[in-house]
Homo-oligomer: A and B are copies of this chain.
Amino acid sequence: MGKPLERAEIAAPRGFKQRLYAELEPAARHKPGLSVTNRIICILIIASALFAVMETEHEFVGNHVGAFLAIEMAITAVFSIEYVLRAWVSSENPAFGPGLKGLVRYLMSPAAILDLIALAPIVFALAGSQAFLLRAFRLLRILRVARLGRFSRATRYMRMAVAARREELVLSLGVTILLIFASSTLLYLVEGRLQPQQFGSIPRAMWWSVSTLTTVGYGDVYPITALGRVLAGLTAIAGIGLIAMPAGILAAAFSEAAHREHEQLEEERRGEWRPE
């Protein structure tokens, strides 16, 4: 990746930064879709997450411990170069502006911080060899995948739809929590004495309650009395409502967002609207 870019830099030292910015920042690209560079980075993010996952399974690793560390170092190197380049071209982005102030503003943005965190795992892998830290930092590496959100236009659209109905979604989460409390209390009262290990306290009964209301139903815990089963049946039916409610809320939100986008495009066509 490095070589052709350097050559381009010699040919057009000023224009290169702008072209690199258009190459790295999806919003600055004239054509739809992702640039070649961003596609490669996406594949690397997914690959690094898959390697982090595979590394935990000794059947995959076997005697190739060294190979896994080498891959980790190579991926981190590419991500480091990418991090520096993104910081450099951030001055082209009107949202951050030029100069040191703009750079600091960019480095403090959530996307840039996530990029930095994605570089952290290598430090733990090289420095310490404490088993727990080695295991815990893997979560950070997995989060690299979250960076993919940066490249998707749909992310902005969906976040808008969810944000517009945030109150309703929080309320339906509240109803879920209330139902978990109520159903686990009832089952604790009915089955608590018969199955003390499973329903002997409300926190224990909650495990059953969550598994039933979300319609997961592992089957490790279930009521055995007639009354307990009637209550469990009502809980399961309530669970259907709990799935239907956010589905309905999101359906309305997406319909509305699509409608609003349509109107914005209309206004844009008439020259009355400009992007933020």
Residues of A within 8 A of B (CB): 49, 52-54, 56-60, 135-136, 138-139, 142-143, 145-146, 148-149, 152-155, 157-158, 161, 167-168, 170-174, 176-178, 181-182, 184-186, 188-189, 192, 200-204, 206-207, 210-212, 214-220, 222, 226, 229, 232-233, 236-237, 239-258
How many monomers of this chain does the complex have?
Answer: 4
Task: Return chain B residues, CB-CB under 8 Å to A167.
Answer: 152-154, 157
Task: Return chain B residues, CB-CB under 8 Å to A241.
Answer: 246
Task: Return chain B residues, CB-CB under 8 Å to A212.
Answer: 216
On whether the beta carbons of A135 and B189 are closer than 8 Å, the reply is yes
Using A53-B202, A161-B248 as known contacts, list a sample of 8 further A-B pairs with CB atoms less than 8 Å apart, ordered by residue number in A: A53-B203, A139-B182, A142-B185, A145-B177, A214-B239, A244-B250, A247-B251, A248-B250
**Given the complex of chains A and B, what is the CA–CA distance between A274 and B236 in angstroms?**
41
On whether the beta carbons of A256 and B253 are closer than 8 Å, the reply is no
Which of chain B's residues has its CB closest to A131's CB? B193
On whether the beta carbons of A243 and B245 are closer than 8 Å, the reply is no
Task: Return chain B residues, CB-CB under 8 Å to A214.
Answer: 215, 236-237, 239-240
Shortest CB distance A26–B (Å):
12
On whether the beta carbons of B211 and A217 are closer than 8 Å, the reply is yes
On whether the beta carbons of B248 and A254 are closer than 8 Å, the reply is yes
Q: Known: A218-B217, A247-B244, A247-B248. Contact between A54 and B203, CB under 8 A?
A: yes
A–B complex contacts, Cβ < 8 Å, 24 sampled = A54-B202, A56-B188, A56-B202, A57-B203, A139-B182, A142-B178, A142-B185, A145-B177, A152-B171, A152-B174, A154-B167, A210-B233, A211-B233, A214-B240, A215-B215, A216-B216, A216-B217, A217-B218, A240-B246, A243-B243, A243-B244, A247-B247, A248-B253, A249-B250
Q: Known: A54-B203, A201-B56, A216-B217. Contact between A236 and B211, CB under 8 A?
A: yes
